[in-house]
Amino acid sequence: MSSSPPPPAAAAAASLDLDGNPIAPLTICMIGAGGFIGSHLCEKLMAETNHVVFAVDVYSDKIRHLVDPAPPHLVGRISFHRLNIKNDSRLEGLIKMADLTINLAAICTPADYNTRPLDTIYSNFIDALPVVKYCSENNKRLIHFSTCEVYGKTIGSFLPSDHPLRKEPEFYVLKEDESPCIFGPIVKQRWSYACAKQLIERLIFAEGAENGLEFTIVRPFNWIGPRMDFIPGVDGPSEGVPRVLACFSNNLLRREPLQLVDGGQSQRTFVYIKDAIEAVLLMIENPARANGQIFNVGNPNNEVTVRELAEMMTEVYANVSGEIPLDEPMIDVSSKQFYGEGYDDSDKRIPDMTIINKQLGWNPKTPLRDFLETTLTYQHKTYKEAIKRQMSQVSASS
């Protein structure tokens, strides 16, 4: 008679790192655990490992199923700590009790960079300083989430639009240890986010060099999936402007034309959140390979213009919802009209994957269309009825 497979906890206890060493259970202080990335990472850690998580955030909506209350099998594995890292003395205590701190906290919405540059700089640099300080002083490992925006503009963007070198990879592929970080002028407030993120990266790197801080820096390239951002007026402010996928989802759910900023000619790559979380788990469980590294985490195979993304989302959502697309599904708007004064952008953002593949053996798997279908199915199921009610209330009051 064959034996039954071990339960998840037993399987996790027996797992090995990439060098064949047993993986010891860790206690992880996850700052920003209630957000998009944090919620998926908490799910992964609870389902597939024996690690313990202190989930730190102001909001717990996206992890309520894990912490409010914790299911019986997760009691003692995950605990929610409602605190604001700006001014709460409990933070240092949680970091001291943990083996590893993961900092996901950030203001990371392009509309905010322009309209709330001070909050953006404080959130991404000033508020992150105590986290770095506590980790360094207490000899605790840190995984810090930065952004692909630290690269700024590509070298190729300064060449004439028809210049043949713009098509050469060395002029647009972004490498962690080689590519320069090129930002626009100070009057372009859009770069407040990238500058703050780059400065905290430099501080972390300096702490490693001078004080022995064990760190890993993650540069996400457009991670996409369920629970990303918010839908304005439903689970976010009515005047809010989320990132591109949630913006387009909001338009589709409301049967409004998708707004293409400056014609949607910027090129981007997108990676599925579940693929990206696999990369983060490898970083967590392979410190010997991840410490001192900066990792691009993206999928260069999923490169599209923003206009192509809009076209694909319109087609996929029609299949998911059964609704016929609008006769004019897209409209062009200027960046000034959409974001206000001070907006600037990069033309192309393609990650080089050499370092993460070499150190962790990670490669993304999921094609863009597949995870757009998963994400838009979630958006439709989660938000469609709420938006209908909201729109009917607006009509009734007008």
What pLDDT sits at residue 304? Answer: 96
83: its two tokens: 């605190």
What pLDDT sits at residue 398? Answer: 61
How many degrees, rounded to 5, is the angle at CA 155 between CA 201 and CA 120?
A: 35
Of all residues in the chain, the percent with pLDDT exceeding 90 is 71
What pLDDT sits at residue 379? Answer: 93
The whole-number average pLDDT for the span 304-330 is 95
Task: Name the pLDDT band for 235 (thresholds 50, 70, 90).
Answer: confident
Of all residues in the chain, the percent with pLDDT exceeding 70 is 93
What does the mean pLDDT of the chain come to? 90
More confident residue, 243 or 212: 212
Report d(CA 135, CA 213) in Å as an integer: 7
pLDDT at 5 over 60: no
Residues labelled as active-site residues = 193
What pLDDT sits at residue 348? Answer: 84
Q: pLDDT tens-digit profile of 92-108?
A: 999 999 999 999 999 87
Q: pLDDT tens-digit profile of 111-152?
A: 788 888 999 999 999 999 999 999 999 999 999 999 999 999
Q: Within 13 Å and on the Cβ side, how many CA atoms surround 209?
A: 6
Task: Name the pLDDT band for 173 (thresholds 50, 70, 90).
Answer: very high
Report d(CA 255, CA 326) in Å as an integer: 7
Which range among 137-146, 273-282, 355-364, 387-396 shows the weakest confidence by mean pLDDT? 387-396
The whole-number average pLDDT for the span 329-337 is 89
Residue reference for tokens 């399987």? 11
What pLDDT sits at residue 344? Answer: 78
Residue reference for tokens 């279908």? 373
What pLDDT sits at residue 239? Answer: 64
Report d(CA 172, CA 156) in Å as an integer: 6
The whole-number average pLDDT for the span 293-297 is 98
pLDDT at 2 over 60: no
pLDDT at 236 over 80: no
What pLDDT sits at residue 14? Answer: 65
What pLDDT sits at residue 161? Answer: 82
Q: What is the pTM of this model?
A: 0.92
Task: Name the pLDDT band for 10 (thresholds 50, 70, 90).
Answer: very low
Task: Name the pLDDT band for 6 (thresholds 50, 70, 90).
Answer: very low
What pLDDT sits at residue 396? Answer: 66
